[in-house]
Amino acid sequence: MQFLANPTRFLRIANAVLPYVWAITVALFAVGLYGALVTAPPDYQQGETVRIMYVHVPAAWMALFVYTVMALASAVAAIFRHPLADVAAKTAAPIGAVFCFLSLATGSLWGKPMWGAWWVWDARLTSMFVLMLLYIGYMAIWAAIEEPHRAAMVARVVALVGFINIPIVKFSVDWWNSLHQPASVFRMDGPTIAGPMLWPLLVMGLAYTFLFLALHLTAMRAEIAARKIRQIHIAEIGER
Amino acid sequence: MNLILALIRRDLTLTLRQGGGVGTALGFFLCVVVLLPIGIGPDQALLARIAPGALWISLLLSVLLSADRIYQQDYEDGSLDIMTMGPVPFEMVALAKSVAHWLSTSLPLAIAAPILGFLVNLEPEAILPLAIAMVVGSIALSLIASIGAAVTVGLRRGGLLVSILVLPLYVPVLIFGLSASQPNAAPGLTAASLLILGAIALVSLVVSPLASAAALRSYLK
Amino acid sequence: MDFSANHVGFVIASYALTFLCLAGLIIATLGRDRKLRAQVERLDTQRRKPR
């Protein structure tokens, strides 16, 4: 009963909020893309190629953000045994994995004209690649364990251990990179970006965040429905 | 404490009696070390340059290969079920089994690796730092492998999953292990890397029993 | 945006790829949501009828 009580409240809120979240997402994307493709100036060094930044950087931000959401939800699930938290963690993973893939793929498309190679073992790329592996491993656990309650418990462990691992990987990869002295890799450090290039980036970041929110709420709603179907089926078997 | 020692002794005896465990891992290790020069050519200078990395990678893969043995048998024959009910906290059971794996597999490999290094033209002055780094690193390797084994213990096709799950956790160990094995590096760098490697081993000493026990419990319920 | 610039193909490719992946994700998520909720609805009405 407790399982049903909280999800119904969640569903009521999600149903009420979702149309607005989608509307805000569309509006933000419209403004962000206009800024990214029309008003933002081409870079004096990189030319038009710099426009890849407006889809690449937000994807990378979101890949990290979504994993944080996943780890937080897993921690809540582990401490308070709240089933909705497991649903939140489970449904966030595929969305985060798509963002992570996009950041790797667009980074590769940006790297080819800039560095002359599709893939460079640079510190950031390597940590992003490891993050992608963490996403794949997490989703594989959910896919491999049939019993949902057990899958949830194991997945919590995987998500939390992975979360502890992220800063260690980041640190170690930076260390490794400084040891191997890469041939001057292009850097884009925050404060040097000028205003006309900065605001479309921030708007795109917000647009991605709202897109995640909309997708996550929808996916959680679907997952709750899937669990309800499972419960109904189990109840039917019990009645027979 | 005595009970934990008894657990470790039991696991060690089981692995030694059955054979196969250390043997498979060592055989795999030997395969890599022998096939590598054949694969990339017998250039001594090149071999000397990549020797520490090659040895570290073979150590990592050999430990990974033997990872699923840590809990598999005790899970299948029900011993783990009984251990959850015993007087020893289940986290300590997980720790004991990781220690047994370290003693039976990772540690022998870590000691054998620098000796086998002569096959890939490892510089003589690199042998000692490599051995020290590998002994420290192998603690972390066994503990991390234990998490991977615990998470996939009840799965029929857990093998691939273990590698995906454990690979990201092995990246820092490899990086600092390698950096601690360079004899010609800047002064202080080797020592610093070794300390960080030790820190990683200590972190996994705390995290691994907790995570392994939590994962095992969900399979045993 | 200057379409005759160098490497403009890479820019178009990354925007196209992002669009395709995100559109695919949106369609898959919405589709699953719609399908499962319809199924719950159907099962609910089915279960209520016999009683």
| A228 at C interface, C-beta within 8 A | yes
Predicted local confidence at residue A217, as pLDDT: 94
CA distance A119 to A176: 17
Please provide residue B88's backbone torsions phi and psi, each rounded to the nearest 5 degrees. -80, 130
Question: Region A124-153: what's the mean pLDDT?
Answer: 90
Instruction: With respect to residue C10, please indicate whether it lies within any of the assigned structural domains.
Output: no
CA distance B79 to B77: 6
Chain A from 104 to 143: CB within 8 A of any B CB: 126, 130, 133-134, 136-137, 140-141
With contact defined as beta carbons under 8 Å apart, do B95 and B209 qualify?
yes
Please list, in sequence order, all residues whose beta carbon lies within 8 angstroms of the beta carbon of residue B8, skipping any fewer than 6 positions away: B96, B99, B100, B103
Is the predicted pLDDT of residue B34 greater than 70, yes or no?
yes
Domains: count for chain C: 1
3-state secondary structure of A108: helix
Is the predicted pLDDT of residue A35 greater than 70, yes or no?
yes
pLDDT band at B20; cut points 50, 70, 90: low
Residues of A in contact with B219 (CB under 8 A): 150, 154
B85-116 in b/e burial notation, b at 16+ Cβ within 10 A?
A: eeebebbbbbbbbbbbbbbbbbbbbbebbbeb
Question: Region B19-27: what's the mean pLDDT?
Answer: 74
Predicted local confidence at residue B21, as pLDDT: 64
Instruction: With respect to residue C51, please indicate whether it lies within any of the assigned structural domains.
Output: yes
Question: Region B178-182: what's the mean pLDDT?
Answer: 85
With contact defined as beta carbons under 8 Å apart, do A201 and A54 qualify?
yes
Closest to C37 (Cβ–Cβ): which among A42, A215, A225?
Answer: A225
Q: What is the pLDDT of residues B143-168, one digit of tens each?
A: 999 999 999 988 877 778 888 899 99
Contact A137 B168 (CB under 8 A): yes
Question: Region B22-30: what's the mean pLDDT?
Answer: 81
Is the predicted pLDDT of residue A227 greater than 60, yes or no?
yes
With contact defined as beta carbons under 8 Å apart, do B104 and B138 qualify?
no
pLDDT band at A185; cut points 50, 70, 90: very low
CA distance A154 to B215: 5
For residue B154, the 8-state DSSP code is T
Pairs from A4-8 (Cβ < 8 Å, separation ≥ 24): A6/A82, A6/A83, A6/A84, A7/A83, A7/A84, A7/A87, A7/A224
Instruction: With respect to residue C27, please indicate whether it lies within any of the assigned structural domains.
Output: yes
Contact C36 A226 (CB under 8 A): yes
Predicted local confidence at residue B6, as pLDDT: 84
- Residue-number span of the structural domain to which C47 is assigned: 18-51
Is the predicted pLDDT of residue A206 greater than 70, yes or no?
yes
Q: What is the pLDDT of residues B71-101, one digit of tens each?
A: 888 888 888 888 888 888 888 989 999 999 9
3-state secondary structure of A47: strand
Is the predicted pLDDT of residue A3 greater than 70, yes or no?
no
Instruction: With respect to residue C23, please indicate whether it lies within any of the assigned structural domains.
Output: yes
With contact defined as beta carbons under 8 Å apart, do B67 and B138 qualify?
no
Please provide residue A72's backbone torsions phi and psi, each rounded to the nearest 5 degrees. -60, -45
Dihedral over Cα of C22, C23, C29, C32: its sign = negative
Instruction: With respect to residue C3, please indicate whether it lies within any of the assigned structural domains.
Output: no
Instruction: With respect to residue C41, please indicate whether it lies within any of the assigned structural domains.
Output: yes
How many distinct helices (H) and strands (E) make up chain A?
6, 0
Judged on CB neighbours under 10 Å (0-12, 13-18, 19+), C28 is: middle
Predicted local confidence at residue A4, as pLDDT: 45
| A213 at C interface, C-beta within 8 A | no
Predicted local confidence at residue A240, as pLDDT: 67
Amino acid at the residue A71: A
Instruction: With respect to residue C28, please indicate whether it lies within any of the assigned structural domains.
Output: yes
Predicted local confidence at residue B136, as pLDDT: 93
Instruction: With respect to residue C9, please indicate whether it lies within any of the assigned structural domains.
Output: no
Closest CA in chain A for residue C22: A98
3-state secondary structure of A119: coil
With contact defined as beta carbons under 8 Å apart, do A199 and C13 qualify?
no
Contacting subunits of A (3+ beta carbon pairs below 8 A): B, C
Question: Region A33-37: what's the mean pLDDT?
Answer: 88
Contact A175 B214 (CB under 8 A): no
- Single out the residue of A22, A68, A57, A65 nearest to residue A211, CA to CA: A22
Q: Predicted ipTM?
A: 0.87
CA distance B206 to A214: 38
Chain A from 144 to 173: CB within 8 A of any B CB: 144-145, 150, 153-154, 156-158, 160-162, 164-165, 168-169, 171-173
- Single out the residue of B39, B11, B15, B38 nearest to residue B25, CA to CA: B15
CA distance A109 to C10: 6
Residues of B in contact with A158 (CB under 8 A): 151, 165
